[in-house]
Structure 1
């Protein structure tokens, strides 16, 4: 539990910080000089709006940056979660006596610090970035989808409110739409993100846990790259293999992203 909590904190902090800063950079280089002073005015910076392509670009770049923080955290989380399988002998489907230290083919991790110590001792700093290619692909494409979907749905609600009030659509801000609409936009973003990037996440998780799984099944540990893992997964299970567990992940993402975006907009409005 501790690793996902830390990961969520770091991921969202990095994502929103990078997303806002990249938006400001895009605005600075694309806004006409006579409007550029708005960028440095806290109350009017939002008046300079970006189109959907620019917003998706900002989301993709923020996701790419976040992947460098996320990879080590997710590696620790995956190794802790997968070690439950160490107590089972897959060849005979019988339970291994975990009280017998010699019966376990892997070190049993007692927590995040245990994983950190073992990974650093065995592989050094590079060991914490096993599976980074999968995380990078997932977060870069996912950042564009996550923020892009949120912005698109939010704009729909904003335009709808402007039409109802019969005012200029550009005069409505996200803080002007109600919390339920913000949560709907966030929920749509979370579901779209997980639905589209789940295959990359499945490949990434296999890359980060294959050392433990191979040792647990008595196989020689060999490191596989992103393409090879994807090929092997497809050969073993076909397309469904990339989406195992996708349904519950998408369902979980709806409320979590809804709360994240509503909280973000609310706090930003207050600050």
Structure 2
């Protein structure tokens, strides 16, 4: 190690250039679970629980804590704590790869003397393909999370599924291994909405850059927090109908116990029709309030970690 070598240089030496997006995404996923999983549990119960879905998010939150304790908000967190880190590693790693591909293949603009940068459409396109790329990994992890979050029993011994491994084993024994991908079509439509998240993030970063040289100019880290939080609100506004549909597909046949024999898995169209018939258009937006409460802090922190690590690891720049 050279005498003047700092921590950033040491990090850059030990992480291959092609892997920086994966490393940054992994850390981002862990951050997102730590900050936002409790809100996600409330959202899932508001969307799917036959009694609680008729109440507000605050009522569901207080009822859950009163009946099951605070840690009940983190039911199903073990799967995403490992899985979400892996999902975001694939999502954000492939995002960085798609951005580089589009940057090197001319989907750029050159509005300043700093050199070419990706267009806003290119950022959205990279987000779209990154979302679709992560869907095969995300679907079984989300399925286990949903099933575990809907168990209302306080005692583990009273629950049908004792944890994510037991849940996965039960599903595979009764339905076969491919049943872990129940809701995959809904997941594809849901994850296609990362188009809006990463387009909005870049648009917000560019808007904040116009404050340069003024008393209101934020540093890069603060800008990442603001833009990440704002982009997540845009994402959930567009994605919540597909999230509701996907989650109902994954929870089937809830509220009945998951059976020990084969069942017919519901299709995306049949579930969407069921929701519309029972609840009307507003049914697709059930759970949007908890999404908003969770989205800003968890995604602001996740973007802060992701972008900060990209800079620390010397990733090739796709944003200017």
TM-score (norm 2): 0.65
Aligned to 1:180: 222
Indicate the residue corresponding to 2:102 in structure 1. Answer: 26
Whole-angstrom distance in 2 between the partners of 1:228 and 1:192: 27
Gap runs ≥5 in structure 2 = 1-76, 109-113, 314-320
Higher-helix-fraction structure: 1
Residue 68 (structure 1) shift? 1.1
Distance 1:50 1:4, change over 3 A: same
1:137-156 aligned at under 5 Å gives the runs: 137-141=189-193, 143-156=194-207
Q: Which residue, out of 53, 72, 93, partners 1:17?
A: 93
**Aligned residue among 217, 228, 239 for 1:197:** 239
Q: Is the 8 A contact 2:190 2:239 kept in 1?
A: yes
Q: Distance in 1 between matches of 2:80 and 2:280?
A: 29
Per-residue Cα deviation, 1:99-156 (whole angstroms, up to 9, x for no partner): 7xxxxxxx81000010111111122221111001111111112x11111111110011
Q: Is the 8 A contact 1:67 1:135 kept in 2?
A: yes
Correspondence for 1:128: 180
Find the aligned partners of 2:107 and 2:131 in 1 and give their Cα distance.
Answer: 24
Matched with 1:236 is: 278
Aligned equivalent of 2:79: 3
Please report how far the alpha carbon of residue 58 of structure 1 lies from its aligned counterpart in structure 2 after TM superposition.
0.4
SS in 2 for 1:213: coil
Residue 258 in structure 1 maps to residue 300 in structure 2: yes
Contact 2:226 2:300 (8 Å CA) reproduced: yes
Residue 182 of structure 2 contacts residue 250 of structure 2 at CA under 8 Å; is this kept in 1? yes
Partner of 1:49: 117
- Secondary structure at the residue paired with 1:84? coil
Match of 1:110 among 139, 157, 162: 162
The structure-2 alpha-carbon separation of the partners of 1:123 and 1:24, relative to structure 1 and needing over 3 Å to count, comes to: same
In 1, the alpha carbon distance for the partners of 2:179 and 2:125 equals: 30
The separation in 2 between residues aligned to 1:144 and 1:31, in whole angstroms, is: 15
Distance 1:224 1:14 in 2: 27
Residue correspondence of structure 1 range 55-70 to structure 2 within 5 A: 55-70=123-138
How many angstroms does 1:180 deviate by?
Answer: 2.0
Rounded to whole Å, the distance in 2 between the matches of 1:180 and 1:29 is 31
> Matched residue pairs, number?
227
Flag structure 1 segments of 5+ consecutive residues without an equivalent: 33-45, 88-97, 100-106, 166-175
Name the stretch that deviates more: 176-185 or 247-256: 176-185
Name the SS for the 2:117 alignment partner: coil
Query: How far did 1:10 drift?
Result: 1.8
Alignment of 1:74-89 (within 5 A): 74-84=142-152
